[in-house]
């Protein structure tokens, strides 16, 4: 008898109607009377369950009625069309076999659980509806990212996780070490001797692969990274995690506008790909998690993203008459309240804010001719705020060195970064997308802990 996945039964129902098939999966719900019963089976291949009907004609009928939720079973039976029922078809069982038993104290009983509780059972939560949807969408979105870039000839680069440099000084870093911390080796001055550490120096977990991605862009033209990055910041918010995945494309021969075009196309591509390939999951989010989701995503896909300079944005915010917690003046870093006002109230669609004051941006961003602003841009989206940040990079070695001196950066630490300029001075641009932010945006889930399989936050590294 043909073993078949439940996804296939749903996608090609007509082919199977009236046929006998074999399925295997886990019991999600079970109820029965004296004469017959219903089991909802999920086999992992599909968001939806399959309804199995069994009756007293089965020799093990009594036993079946006692199977616990989460038991592993296989079922042989006929695929039968159902009229007017919730599900379009069901299986009339000829044989139900217990493949593996479950205990009756299984925590995911039918009643609803809070996301907070489900975080404490991260080993079981992917079996719940919400997290089954989240993590399949996460997988499909990750593939969409690869597909988008690979189809355009971008080279995927694995930038290092353990690093001796601190990139852009973008954030607090985790130390990586094999020293015996109870009794570390000391130098003649009595300080810890990191020359004796595993790598012969102090090393940390990367906060960004950008600088290394620039190396590869200046060889392969168009490249992207997609890997884990880290922040050792003690911030307990719904939008920050200590370990998260980033996508960092970097493009040679590209100016700021080129980055904006690629980023806009990428966001739209990911949304379209996920809607096409996870329609049931997306329906679930739109119905149960964020009722405005489809409207918001449609708006993104169908609109041309807005563009506004930082200077214009500051003017608009000042003229808006809105009371902000943080007053707006040229030179401030825009806060989430400002970003959301811009994208939700003024534009009502995604908007790129460009040309920020150099003093609130990183040293490697390309100085504009005005001497005050840099060719940077952030993408703000309704409901979330910033999801992408990027810039044209300073390729002019004299301008870059001057900027590093102003900021007191040690040029020797960046010897190879400067050599990239010394040998070519090629224009290039790039950006970073926080993958979890994108998943939150795609699903309407409001806490970053609920879109990463095993979240790492201050005080939390279970599983």
Q: How far is the CB of 288 from a second copy (least distance, A)?
A: 19
Alpha-carbon dihedral sign for residues 304, 305, 308, 314: positive
Contacting residues for 443 by C-beta, under 8 A, at least 6 apart: 133, 134, 137, 285, 289, 290, 293, 451
Q: How far is the CB of 109 from a second copy (least distance, A)?
A: 12
Which residues, numbered 201-220, are part of the site for a second copy (CB under 8 A)? 201, 203, 205, 212, 215-220
User: Buried b vs exposed e over 403-434: b needs ≥16 C-beta within 10 Å?
Assistant: bbeeeebeeeebeebbebbeeeebbbbbbbbb
Q: Rounded distance, CA 387 to CA 437, Å? A: 6
Residue 7 near a second copy by CB under 8 A: yes
Q: Rounded distance, CA 463 to CA 458, Å? A: 15
Q: Choose the binding region for a second copy from 227-235, 296-304, 307-315, 356-364 (rule: CB under 8 A).
A: 227-235
DSSP secondary structure string for all residues of 60-75: THHHHHTPPTT-EEEE
* Nearest to a second copy of 64, 328 (CB atom): 64
Which residues, numbered 147-166, are part of the site for a second copy (CB under 8 A)? 150, 153, 155-165
Which residues, numbered 43-102, are part of the site for a second copy (CB under 8 A)? 43-45, 70-72, 99-102
Q: How far is the CB of 36 from a second copy (least distance, A)?
A: 25
Residue 366 near a second copy by CB under 8 A: no
* Nearest to a second copy of 324, 454 (CB atom): 454
Distance of CA 99 to the CA centre of its chain: 35
Decide: 266 and 141 in contact? Cβ < 8 Å.
no
Single residue of 221, 239, 240, 372 touching a second copy by CB under 8 A: 221
* Nearest to a second copy of 55, 166 (CB atom): 166
Residue 111 near a second copy by CB under 8 A: no
Q: Choose the binding region for a second copy from 229-237, 329-337, 357-365, 382-390 (rule: CB under 8 A).
A: 229-237
Q: How many chain residues bind a second copy (CB under 8 A)?
A: 101
Contacts 24+ apart (CB under 8 A), 10-15: 10/46, 10/48, 10/88, 13/79, 13/88, 13/89
Instruction: Bin 101: left if φ > 0, else alpha if -120 < ψ < 50, else beta.
Output: beta
* Nearest to a second copy of 340, 456 (CB atom): 456
Q: Rounded distance, CA 2 to CA 21, Å? A: 5
Binding mask 247-276 for a second copy (x = CB under 8 A): -----xx-----------------------
Binding mask 413-452 for a second copy (x = CB under 8 A): ---xx-xx-xxxxxx------------------------x
Q: How far is the CB of 155 from a second copy (least distance, A)?
A: 4
Of the candidates 22, 97, 94, 45, the one whose C-alpha atom is nearest the C-alpha of residue 67 is 97
Residue 200 near a second copy by CB under 8 A: yes
Q: Rounded distance, CA 344 to CA 381, Å? A: 8
State the Rg of the chain over Cα.
Answer: 27
Q: How far is the CB of 201 from a second copy (least distance, A)?
A: 6
Which residues, numbered 309-348, are part of the site for a second copy (CB under 8 A)? none
Residue 297 near a second copy by CB under 8 A: no
Task: Count CB atoms within 10 A of the CB of residue 322.
Answer: 12
Q: How far is the CB of 341 from a second copy (least distance, A)?
A: 33
């Amino acid at each position: 008898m043909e073993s078949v996945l439940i996804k296939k039964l749903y996608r090609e129902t007509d082919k199977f109607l009236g046929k006998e098939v074999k399925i295997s999966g886990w019991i999600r719900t079970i109820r029965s009377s004296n004469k017959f019963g219903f089991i909802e089976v999920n086999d992992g291949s599909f968001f939806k369950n399959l309804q199995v009907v069994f009756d007293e004609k089965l020799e093990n009928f009594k036993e079946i009625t006692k199977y616990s939720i989460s038991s592993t079973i296989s079922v042989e039976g006929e695929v039968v069309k159902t009229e007017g029922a919730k599900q379009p078809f069901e299986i009339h069982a000829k044989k139900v076999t217990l493949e593996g038993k479950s205990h009756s104290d299984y925590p995911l009983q039918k009643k609803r659980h809070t996301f907070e509780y489900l975080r404490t059972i991260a080993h079981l939560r992917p079996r719940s509806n919400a997290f089954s949807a989240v993590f399949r969408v996460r997988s499909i979105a990750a593939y969409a990212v690869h597909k988008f870039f690979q189809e355009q000839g971008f080279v995927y680069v694995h930038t290092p996780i353990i690093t001796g440099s601190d990139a852009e000084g973008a954030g607090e870093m985790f130390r990586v070490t094999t020293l015996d911390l109870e009794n570390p080796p000391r130098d003649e001055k009595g300080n810890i001797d990191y020359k004796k550490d595993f790598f012969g120096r102090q090393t940390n977990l990367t906060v960004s692969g950008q600088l290394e991605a620039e190396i590869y862009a200046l060889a392969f033209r168009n490249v992207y990274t997609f890997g884990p990055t880290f922040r050792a910041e003690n911030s307990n918010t719904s939008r920050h995690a200590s370990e998260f995945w980033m996508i960092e494309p970097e493009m040679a021969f590209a100016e700021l506008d080129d980055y904006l075009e690629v980023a806009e196309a990428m966001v739209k591509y990911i949304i379209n790909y996920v809607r096409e390939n996870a329609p049931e999951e997306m329906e679930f989010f739109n119905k149960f998690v964020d009722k405005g989701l489809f409207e918001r995503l449609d708006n993104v896909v169908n609109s041309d993203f807005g563009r506004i300079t930082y200077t214009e944005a500051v003017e608009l915010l000042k003229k808006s008459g809105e009371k902000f917690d943080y007053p707006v003046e040229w030179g401030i870093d825009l806060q989430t309240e400002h970003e959301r006002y811009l994208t939700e109230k003024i534009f009502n669609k995604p908007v790129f804010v460009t040309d920020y004051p150099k003093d609130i941006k990183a040293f490697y961003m390309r100085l504009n001719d005005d001497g005050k602003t840099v060719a940077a841009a952030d993408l703000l989206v309704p409901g979330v705020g910033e999801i992408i940040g990027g810039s044209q990079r300073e390729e002019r070695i004299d301008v870059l060195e001057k900027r590093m001196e102003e900021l007191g950066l040690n040029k020797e630490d960046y010897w190879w970064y400067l050599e990239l300029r010394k040998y070519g001075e090629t224009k290039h641009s790039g950006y970073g997308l926080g993958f979890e932010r994108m998943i939150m945006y795609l699903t309407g889930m409001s806490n970053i802990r609920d879109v990463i399989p095993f979240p790492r936050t201050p005080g939390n590294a279970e599983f």
